[in-house]
Structure 1
Amino acid sequence: MDIQSYIASGKLELFVLGELSDRECEEVIALSKKYPEIKRELEEIEDAMFAFDDKTGVKPSEAVKGKIFDSLSMDFEEEIEPAASTPPVAKQVVLQPWKQFAVASSIVAFLAILAAVYFAVQYYDVEERFTALLEERNVLSQELDVNQARYNELDEQFETLLSGDYERVPMLGESFELQKNARVDVFWDKGSQNVFVSVNQLASLDEGQDYQLWAIGDDGPVGIGIVKPGETLTLQQMEAAASAGAFAITIEPKGGSEAPTLENLVVIGEVV
């Protein structure tokens, strides 16, 4: 018989686990009595199982271990000689107690790992949502600060218009091909000569260009400031205008020009 092949077949491990049939168990017991190598292997498997049991945290008492080894020794020593006149009695193999402990410990450990993973996922999910809420709160707080500053600025400008004698001069681009939808309002106080511009609609320009406001009076057009197209629905203060029969905006090179470029006329409005 090839003893090493029999040991490597896995039957000895199944015997210790109580997973063999009665006939296979009797075969293992008979061979262990005949071959010391098989008996030694069975003892080593038992020791390995108890060592695994110790690592899983469930350690059988010495009394339980003694009963297991005594039971195994009795199996090794008993003669399997069934009477000729009577059929062989089936041997009952009882599941080893350490196996129940090991299975229970493994289930507990597995459930503990699942619980740890679940709570870790929940923790990181809550942490990410909390961080997102903080970032959103910071963004909203910054937007609120910007809007509050803009509101205060508009409030001051509104009070300025109310406190003076400002005349609104609407300027439209309907009569020009350059920007027919352009709309800009000029507020001019003749007494204080203050001028404010409110942009409703002006197209963006190239980096090398600017919108320039002109006050057209008895002495011809006078440049009184650069108009920023992106600052809509707010008041941009220009230079003072002593006299004006009309206001106009043209597209000029960056920084403005001494005289308006008439072919780049965008909007114009007459003072009533």
Structure 2
Amino acid sequence: MDIKAYIASGILELYVAGKLSEKENQEIYELMQEHPEILQEVLEIEAAVVKLTGAASPHAIDFESFKGKLDTTGTKVIDLKPRKPNWISFTGWAASIILAGGLLWTLNNKTKVEEELQTVSTEKQYLEIQIEEARNNLTATKSLLDAIRDKDIITVPLGGQGDYASTYAKVYWNKADNTIYLDGEGLPNAPDGKVWQVWSLTLNPLTPTSLGTIDDFNTDENKIFTIANTNESQAFGITLEPAGGSESPTMEQLYTLGVVAATP
């Protein structure tokens, strides 16, 4: 249905003027319920009529202003000459305005209620996700604390080196399961195009073995990382390397270094 063409046909003005059959009135009423544009047009026509009747003589109503909106091509021409006021029509207009206004209010409020319900549902889902994430974080934190508090854990402080003396880190090494937990809180965020790379070292001769890069360092909140280590490490070091890591450490970018204490 072409709504614009229907509105431009002039049938809505006839509806407001009370010149249509009962069947045609029913059809327009149903269209008003289905199409808000038609309902709005009827309201505007009725508002204009009410305004005109308020300004006109109490003995006459001028419908000439509506003729310009009527498309008389192929339709029956209705005589809209000044006539005595039809109080039954006025009553019909008033009832239509009240009914249409109530329908518009209902539609608007229904939309608002649906939007509010959708907002509540979205907020509820978001809250449930936050609660689940908090539970997972608590579980992960407890597991991490249990791991680094193990009585057999080896703690290796890594001090800042050279120009990077203010940096620091700490390694918790569990030799039983070949895992280290690296606490990198004392390291700055890696610059663009760079990553932190962790090294296991043997000292005599000095031999570095890469334990991998920490690609998510900048976005990780607690700065604690779990890293596999199957080496007989005598020291650990951290260097700043190009993205993707390096085959051997860039010694000019050695930020922290720590030696594993000898076992008594």
TM-score per shorter chain, which class? 0.5 to 0.7
Q: CA deviation at 1:103?
A: 1.9
Q: CA deviation at 1:171?
A: 3.3
Q: CA deviation at 1:205?
A: 4.1
Cα distance in 2 for partners of 1:179, 1:122 equals 65
Q: CA deviation at 1:270?
A: 4.3
1:60-104 Cα offsets, whole Å, 9 max, x none, are xxxxxxxxxxxxxxxxxxxxxxxxxxxxxxxxxxxx7x7332222
Tell me which amino acid in the other structure corresponds to 2:240. Answer: I
Conserved in 2, the CA contact under 8 Å of 1:198 and 1:236? no
Question: Which structure 1 residue ranges, 5 or more long, are not aligned?
Answer: 1-13, 21-43, 50-95
Conserved in 1, the CA contact under 8 Å of 2:179 and 2:226? no
Q: CA deviation at 1:263?
A: 0.8
Conserved in 2, the CA contact under 8 Å of 1:211 and 1:252? yes
Q: 1:232 to 1:249 in 2, by over 3 A?
A: farther
Conserved in 2, the CA contact under 8 Å of 1:224 and 1:240? no
Tell me which amino acid in the other structure corresponds to 2:174. Answer: D
Cα distance in 2 for partners of 1:259, 1:128 equals 59
- Partner-residue secondary structure (3-state), 1:252: strand
1:116-172 Cα offsets, whole Å, 9 max, x none, are 222211111121122222223333333333333333233323333334522333435
Instruction: Kindly report which structure 2 residues correspond to 1:20-99, keeping only aligned pairs within 5 A, or say none.
Output: 99=86
Cα distance in 2 for partners of 1:202, 1:240 equals 27
Conserved in 1, the CA contact under 8 Å of 2:158 and 2:256? yes
Q: 1:129 to 1:250 in 2, by over 3 A?
A: same
Q: Residue in 2 aligned with 1:204?
A: 190
Q: Residue in 1 aligned with 2:131?
A: 144
- Normalising by structure 1, we get a TM-score of 0.54
Q: 1:255 to 1:240 in 2, by over 3 A?
A: farther
Cα distance in 2 for partners of 1:235, 1:112 equals 67
1:165-218 Cα offsets, whole Å, 9 max, x none, are 223334354x554695x55321123566532213324413444x4321123333
| Runs of 4 or more consecutive aligned structure 1 residues displaced over 6 Å after TM superposition | none
Cα distance in 2 for partners of 1:168, 1:144 equals 33
Over alpha carbons, which structure has the higher Rg? Answer: 1
Cα distance in 1 for partners of 2:101, 2:177 equals 79
Identity of aligned residues (%): 19
Cα distance in 2 for partners of 1:150, 1:240 equals 27
Q: Residue in 2 aligned with 1:105?
A: 92
Cα distance in 2 for partners of 1:165, 1:159 equals 12
Conserved in 2, the CA contact under 8 Å of 1:194 and 1:241? no
Q: 1:114 to 1:171 in 2, by over 3 A?
A: farther
Cα distance in 1 for partners of 2:80, 2:141 equals 88
Q: Residue in 2 aligned with 1:115?
A: 102
- Normalising by structure 2, we get a TM-score of 0.56
Q: Residue in 2 aligned with 1:187?
A: 172
Aligned CA-pair RMSD = 3.4
Q: 1:185 to 1:149 in 2, by over 3 A?
A: same
Conserved in 1, the CA contact under 8 Å of 2:154 and 2:172? yes
Conserved in 2, the CA contact under 8 Å of 1:214 and 1:247? yes
Cα distance in 1 for partners of 2:157, 2:221 equals 15
Q: Residue in 2 aligned with 1:263?
A: 252
Conserved in 2, the CA contact under 8 Å of 1:193 and 1:242? no
Conserved in 1, the CA contact under 8 Å of 2:241 and 2:250? yes
Question: Which structure 2 residue ranges, 5 or more long, are not aligned?
Answer: 1-55, 62-78
Q: Residue in 2 aligned with 1:79?
A: none
- Partner-residue secondary structure (3-state), 1:158: helix
- Partner-residue secondary structure (3-state), 2:182: strand
